[in-house]
Amino acid sequence: MAGAIIENMSTKKLCIVGGILLVFQIIAFLVGGLIAPGPTTAVSYMSVKCVDARKNHHKTKWLMPWGPNQCDKIRDIEEAIPREIEANDIVFSVHIPLPSMEMSPWFQFMLFILQLDIAFKLNNQIRENAEVSMDVSLAYRDDAFAEWTEMAHERVPRKLKCTFTSPKTLEHEGHYYEWDAIFISLHRAGKFLSLLIHISVIFEETPRVYEGSGIHQNGGFTKVWFAMKTFLTPSIFIIMVWYWRRITMMSRPPVLLEKVIFALGISMTFINIPVEWFSIGFDWTWMLLFGDIRQGIFYAMLLSFWIIFCGEHMMDQHERNHIAGYWKQVGPIAVGSFCLFIFDMCERGVQLTNPFYSIWTTDVGTELAMAFIIVAGICLCLYFLFLCFMVFQVFRNISGKQSSLPAMSKVRRLHYEGLIFRFKFLMLITLACAAMTVIFFIVSQVTEGHWKWGGVTVQVNSAFFTGIYGMWNLYVFALMFLYAPSHKNYGEDQSNGDLGVHSGEELQLTTTITHVDGPTEIYKLTRKEAQE
- 227 and 128 in a common domain: no
Greater confidence, 76 or 236? 236
Average pLDDT over residues 429-435: 82
Closest by Cα among 70, 203, 200, 135 to 356: 135
**Given this model, what pLDDT does residue 102 score?**
77
Same domain, 248 and 138: no
The answer to whether residue 509 sits within a structural domain is: no
Nearest one of 158, 166, 145, 222 to 185, comparing CA atoms: 158
Q: What is the sign of the dihedral through the CA atoms of 464, 470, 472 and 474?
A: negative
Residue 205: pLDDT over 70: no
Task: Specify the range with the lowest mean pLDDT, choosing from 178-192, 254-268, 289-303.
Answer: 178-192
| One domain, residues 287 and 260 | yes
pLDDT digits (tens, 9 = 90+) for 21-57: 999 999 999 998 888 888 888 888 888 888 876 655 5
pLDDT in tens, 55-70: 555 455 788 887 777 8
Q: Provide the sign of the torsion angle of the four alpha carbons 459, 461, 463, 466, taken in this order.
A: negative
Q: Do you find a cis peptide bond into 97, omega within 30 degrees of 0?
A: yes
Q: Determine, yes or no, domain membership for 532.
A: no
pLDDT, one tens digit per residue, over 214-238 is 888 888 899 999 999 999 999 999 9
| pLDDT tens digit sequence for 481-528 | 988 887 665 444 344 444 444 444 433 332 223 334 555 555 555 554
H or E segment and range at residue 429: helix 410-446
Is the separation of the CB atoms in 90 and 135 below 8 Å? Answer: no
Per-residue confidence (pLDDT) for residue 319, from 0 to 100: 58
Q: Which residues pair with 453 in a beta bridge?
A: 456
Confirm whether 457 is domain-assigned: yes
Are 277 and 193 members of one domain?
A: no
Q: Residue 257 sits in which domain range?
A: 5-39+220-483
Q: Report how far residue 189's alpha carbon sits from residue 105's, in angstroms, rounded to the nearest whole number.
A: 5
| Residue 44 sits in the same domain as residue 33 | no
**Whether 245 and 353 share a structural domain:** yes
Identify the CATH number of the domain in which residue 432 sits.
1.20.1070
- Report which listed range, 143-152, 196-205, 331-340, is most confident: 331-340
Output b/e per residue, 294-322; b: 16+ Cβ within 10 A: bebbbbbbbbbbbbbbbbbbbbeeeebbe
Residue 463 within any structural domain of the chain: yes
- In a shared domain, residues 57 and 30: no
531 within domain boundaries: no
Claim to verify: residue 369 and residue 309 sit in the same structural domain: yes
Number of domains within the chain: 2
Last residue of a domain, one of 166, 187, 217: 217
Q: Kindly state whether residues 275 and 416 are assigned to the same domain.
A: yes
Nearest-angstrom CA–CA distance, 319 and 313: 11
Cβ neighbours around 447 below 10 Å, total: 12
Would 506 be classed as within a structural domain?
Answer: no
Gap between the Cα atoms of 196 and 151, Å rounded: 10
pLDDT value, residue 450: 60
Q: How far is CA 349 from CA 87, 110, 207, 277, 341, in A?
A: 34, 16, 32, 22, 10
Of 5 and 314, the one with more pLDDT: 5
Does the structure show a pLDDT above 60 at 318? no
In whole angstroms, give the CA distance from residue 27 to residue 455. 20
Q: Which of 157, 183, 217 is the last residue of a domain?
A: 217
pLDDT over 90, % of the chain? 17
Q: What does the pLDDT look like over 451-488, one tens digit per residue? A: 666 677 788 888 888 999 999 999 999 999 988 887 66
SS (H, E, C) 113-146: EEEEECECCCCCCCCCCCEEEEEEEEEEECCCCC
The pLDDT tens digits for 86-142 are: 777 788 888 888 877 778 888 888 888 887 777 777 776 777 777 778 888 888 888
Examine the domain organization and report whether 18 and 96 are in the same domain: no
The last residue of one of the domains, among 441, 463, 483, is 483
pLDDT band at 380 (very low <50, low <70, confident <90, very high): confident
212 lies in some domain: yes
Instruction: Pick the more confident residue, 477 or 82.
Output: 477
The pLDDT of residue 119: 74
Residue of higher predicted confidence among 348 and 146: 348
Average pLDDT of 65-88? 76
Query: Average per-residue pLDDT in the chain?
Result: 78
**103 strand-pairing partners:** none
Residues 143 and 224 in one domain: no
Strand partners, 212: 45, 114
Flag whether pLDDT at 12 surpasses 90: no
Note the pLDDT of residue 209.
56
DSSP string, 465-484: HHHHHHHHHHHHHHHHHHTS
CATH of the domain at 96: 2.60.120
Mark whether 171 and 109 lie in a shared domain.
yes
In the prediction, which pLDDT does 510 show? Answer: 29
What is the per-residue pLDDT for 239? 94
Q: Judge residue 87's burial from the number of C-beta atoms within 10 Å of its C-beta, 0-12 exposed, 13-18 middle, 19 or more buried.
A: middle
261 or 97, which is more confident: 261
pLDDT 10s digits, 347-376: 888 888 888 888 888 888 889 999 999 999
For residue 516, tell me if it sits in a domain.
no
Averaged over 322-346, what is the pLDDT? 87
Report which of residues 528 and 257 the model is more confident about: 257
Which of 291, 298, 293, 287 lies closest to 265, judged by CA? 298
